[in-house]
Structure 1
Amino acid sequence: MTLSGDLAAFAGRLGHSFARPERLIRAVTHGSLGGAAAEDNQRLEFLGDRVLGLVMAEALLRADPAATEGQIAPRFNALVRREMCAEVARSIDLGAVLRLGRSETRSGGRRKDALLADAMEAVIAAIYLDGGMDAARDAVLRLWGERIGAVQADARDAKTALQEWAQARAEPPPVYAEVGREGPDHAPLFTIEARLASGTAEQARAGSKRQAEQAAAAALLARLTQ
């Protein structure tokens, strides 16, 4: 089996030459395409998540031998979370080679964080199965690149940080509410408000509720800590 031109170019961006090209084909095949479940990337996604986690844990421990588990954990979470995987996927144009069913294609599946993140993990698993742990480690470290060194020393997500701010002052946790939605179904734009019991609030907009909540929390936290 040989790779199509676009997949061969994608393999080049990954920096891995597949001994068994069908592994890469499966990694970019979404369940919406139909066919046997064993032919899509869900099982690879499960494996890739674990491989990515091990590589990142090793990299962070090696980069900061003096760091405690409490310091390493938020950095680790920042590097393996769905949004980061999707960001890396976009950097290598993974969306362009996804094999999707018609419904997912029409609904903008090539741009969705969830699909891109899952496929990124599946690709990592495909490299692992094809070339072993060394090949997977090399690919992950190369693709994540400067993101690993740039991860903040305190990389807690904004919602967690805001909740801890409130708890430290014996206040109830912040509340998040959707206050607006614009755009077509395949590319919505959500407006989310983060509000404290005191009434202090901030709003933010993003293409997913989760991203908008994080942005609203970050804006509110910035206001509170000025």
Structure 2
Amino acid sequence: MKIDYGPLETQLGHFFSDRRLLGWALTHVSASSDRSISYERLEFLGDRVLGLIIAHMLFEAFPDQSEGELSRRLAALVRKESCAEAAQIWGVGPYIQLGEGEAQAGGSTKRAILGDVCEAIIGAVYLDGGIDAASKVVEKVFRNRMFSATADLRDGKTALQEWAQARRLPTPQYRLVLRGGPDHAPRFEIAVELPGFESIIGVGGSKRAAEQAAAAAFIKREKIDPQPNEKSVV
């Protein structure tokens, strides 16, 4: 059955030259016998493209903010919840191709799947039209949130600690890796460590900023949705 992607493309603001890419971005692995013809690889690409575009948007929009502050904003904007909200705005649910079991389980409304599809679509747009096309799609749906969500940004260290506690994991530990730079412009590199996970380093002009950057980077890498009192991830 041929699917009419026109309404979805209108919402995206991008009309595909190669609609196979959009089809793959909307295909869950449960609906494909070939893992390469599903959204997994496109999600991997789209995650990186989204991060780059949002980082550039933040860099331009907030010239006076530090690395740590920009990292916190980035983590808030590219988290799974934000991506799922973008997918809902686009109205992707009816277009997602799912296996029978996943469809019966309501997969097209699951936050995790919607977030993955959002990233996959961004990856597909990038392959189809390049970085300029992907930037237009991302800016259209994320730009207003970049400003309106400011008051909702949560402390990265607190969010990570609550996430760990909800899963009965130890409290994340922060370790100074390097202190450099002159006294008037110090540079701190701090690693956040949590048993069972690879450590990751954050950089900032103070220990606190570097710790926040490390927590934000951990949240981003592990695709954690830092919501208050969240007990499980869909």
- State TM-score, norm by structure 2: 0.68
Q: Which residue of 1 aligns with 2:70?
A: 72
CA deviation profile, 1:78-105 (whole Å, cap 9, x unmatched)? 0000011001111111111101111110
Alignment CA distance shift 1:99-1:174 (3 Å): closer
- Give 1:116's aligned residue: 114
Which runs of 5 or more structure 1 residues have no equivalent in the other structure?
165-172, 179-209, 218-226
- Residues 122, 162 of structure 1: CA spacing in aligned structure 2 closer, same or farther, 3 A cutoff? closer
User: Could you say if the C-alpha distance between residues 150 and 35 of structure 1 is closer, same or farther in structure 2, counting changes exceeding 3 Å?
Assistant: same
| Structure 1 segment 78-97 matched on structure 2, within 5 A | 78-97=76-95
Determine the structure 1 residue equivalent to 2:228. Answer: 215
Structure with the greater alpha carbon radius of gyration:
1
Cα contact 2:159–2:228 (8 A) shared by 1 = no
Q: Go from structure 1 to structure 2 and tell me whether the alpha carbon gap of 1:36 and 1:64 turns closer, same or farther (over 3 Å shift).
A: same
Unaligned runs of 5+ in 2: 169-223
SS in 1 for 2:83: helix
- The share of aligned pairs that are identical, in percent, is 41
Q: How has the CA–CA distance of structure 1 residues 67 and 45 changed in structure 2, closer, same or farther, with 3 Å as cutoff? A: same
**After superposition, what is the alpha-carbon deviation per residue over 1:186-216, rounded to whole angstroms, capped at 9, x for unaligned?**
xxxxxxxxxxxxxxxxxxxxxxxx87x8333
Residues 162 and 42 from structure 1, CA distance in 2 versus in 1: closer, same or farther, beyond 3 angstroms?
closer
User: Aligned-pair distance for 1:107?
Assistant: 0.2
What secondary structure sits across from 1:51 in the alignment?
A: helix
Which one of 9, 12, 26 corresponds to residue 10 of structure 2? 12
Per-residue CA deviations over 1:15-54 (Å, capped at 9, x if unaligned) read 1111111110111011000221111110000000000000
User: What does residue range 44-193 of structure 1 map to in structure 2 within 5 Å?
Assistant: 44-152=42-150, 155-156=153-154, 160=158, 163=161, 175-176=165-166
Runs of 4+ more than 4 Å apart: 161-164
User: 1:75 touches 1:153 (CA, 8 Å); kept in 2?
Assistant: no
Kindly provide the amino acid, as one letter, of the partner of residue 54 in structure 2.
Answer: M
Please state whether the residue corresponding to 2:63 is helix, strand or coil. Answer: coil
CA spacing shift, 1:44–1:162, aligned 2, 3 Å: closer
Distance 2:106 2:87 in 1: 15
Q: Check 1:49–1:117 CA distance in 2 against 1; reply closer, same or farther (3 A cut).
A: same
Aligned amino acid, residue 47 of structure 1: L
Alpha carbons of 1:69 and 1:3: their partners in 2 closer, same or farther (altered >3 Å)? farther
**Paired residues of 1:52 and 1:121 also in contact (CA < 8 A):** yes
Number of residue pairs the alignment of both structures matches:
175
Q: Is 1:71–1:154's contact at 8 Å kept on the other side of the alignment? A: no
Bigger RCO (CA 8 Å, 6+ sep) = 2
Question: What SS does the aligned partner of 2:76 have?
Answer: helix
Q: Retained in 1: the 8 A contact 2:159–2:227?
A: no
**RMSD across aligned positions (CA):** 2.7
